A and B are shown apart, each in its own frame.
Chain A
Amino acid sequence: MTRGVPCGFPCAVPCAVLIALCTLAVATRTAAQVIDSAPTHPAVVRSIALDARLATDFGLRLGDTVRVSAAPGDTGAEPVVVSALLARRADPSEIARSEYRARVHLDQLQRLIGYGDRVDRFAIRTAGDSARGTLLDAVNTAAFGFRAWPSAEIAVRTSRTFQVVRRFHRAIGVITIVASAAFLLCILLLKIDERRRDVAALRMMGISAGTIVRSVVLEAGIIALLGSLAGVVFGVVVARIVNWHFQGVHRTTLAFTLVTPETIAFACVLSVVLGVVAGWLAARRLVGVPALTLLGR
């Protein structure tokens, strides 16, 4: 059953951001209350896998016994032994959530929360693609109130949040590139304009316009390449700082920013192209002016 979209609240927004997870989150409806860490009821004690952050924050260790109940202060709390610690996945949709996660045995959770013989979802492994297709059709036409999806489609649907973030970042990138391109063109124009007298002298000596344009373009390309390499180094350093900061804040191993070979190649190529184009435009402008005019006569 698809979890409903929240309304009325603050959670509307974070859930909007993290909605993908709603359908994948482990149903965590119990509030784990730590009463003691002494083992009790050896015959009936089940095990629990606790969020590692919860264990760290409350000083719990493997082997400790805690009590779980459906609601705070419930008398029906059951003892469970911490048998595993869960490391939070490096999943962007999870890291912003501060609540702890735990895993208990299905039948125990059903009993604790009075859920009866119900689940929120289940996964099915089928024997091959054709069987999958047949099963999907059968479930979706016969059932009322829930749907079946292939896991791949779940991945697509739940990645919609990240696709939105990706588009957002791309849009910011486009705006930044436009500003940078204007900046680069302007600076190169300025620098080349500064050498108008040199260019005039070269023209008067007989150096062709083509030679001058080529040398300016080469210079602009080299400057752009060196600048982009410096930018790559800067970007790598900043990426490391960003990852270090956010990994510490969110207690995760998720890499928040990645500088990949493709990113580097794109940045360098774009910079060089912009630089070459800017240099060519500026040089063409300058060689198009008569030498004497460049000298101010």
Chain B
Amino acid sequence: MPFRLAFLALLRHPARTMLALLGIAVSAALLLDMVMLASGMRENFQGFLLIRGYQLRVAPKGTLPFDSEATMDSATMLIRNILRIPGVSAVSPVLGAQSQTRVRDSTVTAFTLGIDPAVQGDYELLRGQDITDSASLVVNDSWLALTQYRIGDSVSLAVGYDPQLRTVLGQRTVVVRGAARFFYTGASQPTVAILLPVLQGMGGSARRDRVSLLMVKAAPGADAEVVRSRIQQVSARVSAISLEGATAQVEQRLAYFRQLALVLGSISLAVGVLLVTTLITIGVNERAGEIAVLRAIGVAKRSIVWQVVTEGLVLSGLGALSGLAIGLVTAQWLERILADFPGMPATFRFFVFQPRDAGIALGMLAAAGVLAGIYPSWRAASLPIAGTLRREAVA
């Protein structure tokens, strides 16, 4: 009966109830989005780094991978020394460079990765074949769209230009073997991959036995942090970065979004609570006479409080559920906006839905709806019955 009375009380003023639900739903949606933004980035980022299971990165000293054009020399020996470390199961070397492909009267510049296909952790093959020999090239769809080449075509790739001699450097003819999705570059960024020794060779003496990055996989059961510190001892000219260290760095750089999420989330929660509280309070005040009648016929105070609390719970609960649906849609919208950041990796997500966090956020809203009803209903139920009836009769 209390649930039915609560539901009917809400239906008595449908316009008011619908508006309140809309306001609560949108507030809940924004709250959900901010929770997704605040907590999801960290989880997504760690997942993003662990796509192929490489927990550690090794970069030139004092830099983050690809933060500059610095490279590490004596890569072969460095890799060998790292592989000797207990707890290391694999090392994936990566060299980054720019390559140019002449297409009719223009040039397509692509970000080029020199990799070892046996241990690479940078892409997932979608079509065709992987790199098998020194003439193989794997590309992304953006490169294919810009160059109009297809899988199987031969292309001429160059990595440098001598303006004095006006000749290209490091030019090589390769065959497009396959198309891939590169995890760490933007979907619109033309990206290609080639065998590491080939790219090193194309770069001449400047790139001989050099790499930009080593991705290191710890063996199952090995402590990644211990492995990281051992790698650090192998060479003083490199920086070994763990997942936690990387996450901390990124969190610092993206602190703005988390703080924004916190502020907006708090405001959304406050607005939702305020709306429910106001609606319930005014609704209770309007029904002071009815409440007095209920008390007169023997309905206990706690039953009245329970009825009003149920109203608040229904309102905020329905609002929260609607907000969940709206929030998932708006998150997609906001995600599309943020995906436009130049160079944003295609696999990175700002908004990640985690049922636990969403449950906490929306649960807070629902709980607020419950609390919102307690005080006004108790107050209304405590009014003198006779006086209230008389006042309502006169009114």
Contact = CB atoms under 8 A, between A and B. Distances in A.
Interface in B269-285: 271, 274-275, 278-279, 282-283, 285
A20 B342 contact: yes
B158 A190 contact: no
Given A6-B66, A8-B215, A72-B236, A14 B275 contact: no
B307 to A, nearest CB: 19
Contact of B345 (A12, A31, A191): A12
A164 B340 contact: yes
A192 to B, nearest CB: 10
Contacts of A12: 66, 184-185, 343, 345, 348
B57 interface: yes
Nearest to A5: B343
A14 B109 CA distance: 22
Nearest to A242: B263
A160 B339 CA distance: 12
B103 interface: no
A5 B279 CA distance: 52
Interface residues of B, number: 91
Interface in B181-234: 182-186, 189, 191, 213, 215
A3 B342 contact: no
A176 B30 contact: yes
Contacts of A176: 30, 267
A233 B283 CA distance: 31
A143 B66 CA distance: 26
A186 interface: yes
Contacts of B249: 10, 14
A117 B364 CA distance: 63
Contact of B122 (A8, A185, A190): A8
Contacts of B267: 176
A13 interface: yes
Interface string B232-254: 00001100010000110110111
Contacts of B342: 16, 19-20, 160-161
B297 interface: no
A5 B186 contact: yes
Nearest to B256: A96
Interface stretch (B146-154, B329-337, B366-374, B379-387): B329-337
Contacts of A141: 105
A2 B256 CA distance: 27
Interface stretch (A38-46, A129-137, A166-174): A166-174
A113 to B, nearest CB: 9
B343 to A, nearest CB: 4
A9 B341 contact: no
A11 interface: yes
Interface string B83-108: 00000000000101110101001010
A56 B395 CA distance: 74
Nearest to B334: A171
Interface in A180-197: 180, 182-183, 185-187, 189-191, 193-194, 197
A73 B333 CA distance: 50
A111 interface: no
B272 to A, nearest CB: 8
B59 to A, nearest CB: 8
A72 to B, nearest CB: 6
A138 interface: no
B30 A179 contact: yes
Contacts of A206: none
A11 B186 CA distance: 13
Contacts of A144: 100, 102, 107, 158, 161, 166, 168
Nearest to A188: B19
Given A16-B342, A167-B337, A72 B271 contact: no
A193 B343 contact: no
A8 B122 CA distance: 7
A183 B264 contact: no
B16 A189 contact: yes
A7 B96 contact: yes
A11 B26 CA distance: 34
Nearest to A178: B26
- Which residue of B105, B271, B283 has the most chain A CB atoms within 10 A of its CB atom? B271
Contacts of A267: none
Nearest to A238: B263
Q: Which 9 A-B pairs have the closest CB atoms?
A: A6-B66, A145-B161, A182-B23, A7-B184, A179-B26, A14-B253, A10-B246, A186-B19, A9-B65
Interface of B: 13, 15-16, 19-20, 22-23, 26-27, 29-30, 33, 45, 49, 57, 59, 61-62, 64-70, 94, 96-98, 100, 102, 105, 107, 109, 111-113, 121-122, 158, 160-161, 163, 166, 168, 182-186, 189, 191, 213, 215, 236-237, 241, 246-247, 249-250, 252-256, 264, 267-268, 271, 274-275, 278-279, 282-283, 285-286, 330, 333-334, 337-338, 340-345, 348, 395
Given A9-B59, A142-B166, A285-B15, 7 more contacts: A6-B96, A8-B94, A10-B57, A11-B66, A73-B236, A164-B337, A168-B338
15 contacts: A6-B66, A7-B111, A7-B113, A7-B182, A9-B184, A10-B49, A11-B64, A14-B250, A15-B343, A19-B343, A72-B62, A144-B102, A182-B20, A186-B20, A194-B286
